[in-house]
Amino acid sequence: MKKLMISLLTVCTLLVAVSSSAVAADAKQKKMQNPRAVPAAKATILQDGKNKMYCPICGMTLPMFYKTNHAASHKGKNHQYCSIVCVVEDAIVNNKKLDNFKVVDNSTLKFIDSRDAYFVVGSKMPGTMSVVSKYAFGTKAAADKLIAKKGGKVMRFDALYALVEKSQAKDMKATKKRQGKAIKKGAKMYKKMCKKTNKRFGSTAEAKSFLMTSGICGKIKGKKHQAIALYLNSRK
């Protein structure tokens, strides 16, 4: 009887341990999930060139933030951005006269004309390059569905663009602070895991492309890829 009790106690302990591990793993998985991301094969990339998979302003990998992607044209050439924040920065900082604005419809994952879109602004969904989230839909009904679940309000493109222009300086200040921390981490990673290069880069996107094609840091992705690229681009 005593042996049976010990066996039952052991089994129960093991079950609790397994259950706890499963819960922890599930929590970790949920924490790691990025609701803005899609597999690269499902992302439509409108821009061309060797750096086409990255935002030309911040260098972030476009499929990882695909559901907040925007696109615009400058002198007939398409540019694709991780967010409307980077669209506005390109226009303001680089003095570009952008037109042909497009945005990813979160219902279909296809690009639509930005002025036909209904934007859910300020929901509990994560923001990209800003604490204020902005997700586009092709219909108001689809936008209202997200609002019912996650809050926020509907805005049209021109009003949203003006709102982002107004908060641009604040958003960019916060971004530079985050990037500064990432650059320091990237410098440590580069020294520890990469073959050295004296190459200089014109953008973080260019540095990310170089890291992928050269393989000087091995197979890297995600935050490591971004941090090392930020560091390489910071070297002047």
pTM: 0.84
Q: Count of CB atoms within 10 A of residue 159's CB?
A: 12
pLDDT digits (tens, 9 = 90+) for 20-77: 444 343 434 344 489 999 999 999 999 999 999 999 999 999 999 999 999 999 999 9
pLDDT digits (tens, 9 = 90+) for 202-226: 999 999 999 999 999 999 999 999 9
Q: Which residues pair with 189 in a beta bridge?
A: none
Separation of alpha carbons 196 and 13, rounded Å: 51
Reduced to 3 DSSP states, what percent helix, strand and coil does the chain have, rounded to the nearest 5?
A: 55, 15, 35
- Per-residue pLDDT at 3: 54
Are 97 and 74 spatial neighbours (Cβ–Cβ below 8 Å)? yes
Give residue limits of the domains in the chain: 40-170, 182-234
Computed over every residue of the chain, the mean pLDDT equals 90
CB-side neighbour CA atoms (13 Å) of 17: 6
